[in-house]
Structure 1
Amino acid sequence: MVIPYCEGSVFAVPLRTGGYALGVVARISSDKSGGLLGYFFGPKRDSLPPADLISALKADDALKVLRFGDLSLLNNEWPILGSVAGWSKELWPMPFFVRRDDLSKKAWRVLYSDGNICEVVKESPEPFDSKLERDAIFGSGAVELLLGRLLA
């Protein structure tokens, strides 16, 4: 199977509520698991954006940074629109995530490998009410629903 994306690829996420959000592939897991790290952007768009907007996306403007699966990209359900101009991995860092245990009310700050988004390289205690993104891998449907809710 031909992989239609690379680091820096910009894609459209069709929202369940209509319209589109944008995403950028920031990391591709080296273990061939289909795991990706993506930066996701609003606002909700009624149609696919022009190329100049696509190439000008910046990591700091992201609405969410999530680990997610690539099935909708492989099935061409999320169209690839182009690439970030002057893509540089260093400008799109791997963020920390928070893993919570609801029973013990404990939480941990988790950092994943730059080369394998499923490999934990650092874990340390974190406040339970941390605002870091939840440590999870989202399926494409979950990404569509989450972004649709945030951009409604």
Structure 2
Amino acid sequence: MKLPYEEGSVFAMPLRNGGFARGVVGRSTHVGRVLLGYFFGPRLETSASATLDHLHADQAVARIRFGDLGLIEGRWVIIGKVPNWDRSDWPIPDFVRRDPISKRAWLVRYSDSDPVKSVSEPLLDYDDLQGLDGDGLFGAGAAEIRISKLLARSGG
């Protein structure tokens, strides 16, 4: 089956509280299923109002690993590709995994070629990893909820 997306694809993801957010496929596995995505505000009224401009990795409101079901089913609409796509401009970020009970935290790094494969998880001080996105794998619905909440909080 040919996947409807590739690295650099820009898509409009429906938000649970109305409107849409733009997302960029930063990495994918060779067979699909798990992607690393960058998500952007502000909230858009319609998917047709989503554009390909002003998308830069360092301006994303969130970077998450997620399942591709929304793209496969067509609920998340592909609107194009990042102009002059260069994957080195969209690096896989570091993530943090925290255990609030033990007060331990891990810096999680994934393979540049496979967003499923963790390549290192050093244990670090619980409070040292501020500002990093939490490690996890979101289903399409959970990703919609996460981004909807983030944009609602930021006013975007």
Q: Is TM (by shorter chain) over 0.5?
A: yes
Q: SS where residue 85 of structure 1 aligns?
A: coil
Q: How far did residue 50 of structure 1 move? A: 5.0
Offset, 1:16: 0.9
Percent pairwise identity = 48
Tell me which amino acid in the other structure corresponds to 1:34: R
CA distance in 2, matches of 1:76, 1:39: 18
- Establish whether residue 148 from structure 1 lines up as the match of residue 131 from structure 2: no
Given candidates 76, 79, 84, the residue that maps to 2:77 is 79
The TM-score, its normalising length taken from structure 1, stands at 0.92
Give RMSD over aligned pairs: 1.5
CA contact (8 A) 1:55 1:83 kept: no
1:34 maps to 33
Give SS of 2:144's match: helix
- How far apart in 2 are the matches of 1:97 and 1:15? 24
Offset of residue 133 of structure 1: 1.1
Instruction: Summarize the alignment of residues 110-149 of structure 1 with structure 2, pairs less than 5 Å apart.
Output: 110-129=108-127, 130-131=129-130, 132-149=132-149
Aligned length: 150
Partner of 1:70: 68
8 A contact 2:3–2:32 mirrored in 1? no
Q: CA deviation at 1:47?
A: 1.5
**Alignment match, 1:48:** 47
Q: Is there any run of 5+ residues in structure 2 with no aligned partner, and where?
A: none
* Distance in 1 between residues matched to 2:54 and 2:106, nearest whole Å: 34
Q: Match for 1:48: what amino acid?
A: S
* Divergent runs of 4+, >2 A: 48-51
Does the CA-based 8 Å contact 1:6-1:25 persist in structure 2?
Answer: yes
CA distance in 2, matches of 1:71, 1:113: 22
Scaled by the length of structure 2, the TM-score of the pair is 0.90
Structure 1 unaligned runs (5+)? none
CA distance in 1, matches of 2:116, 2:45: 34
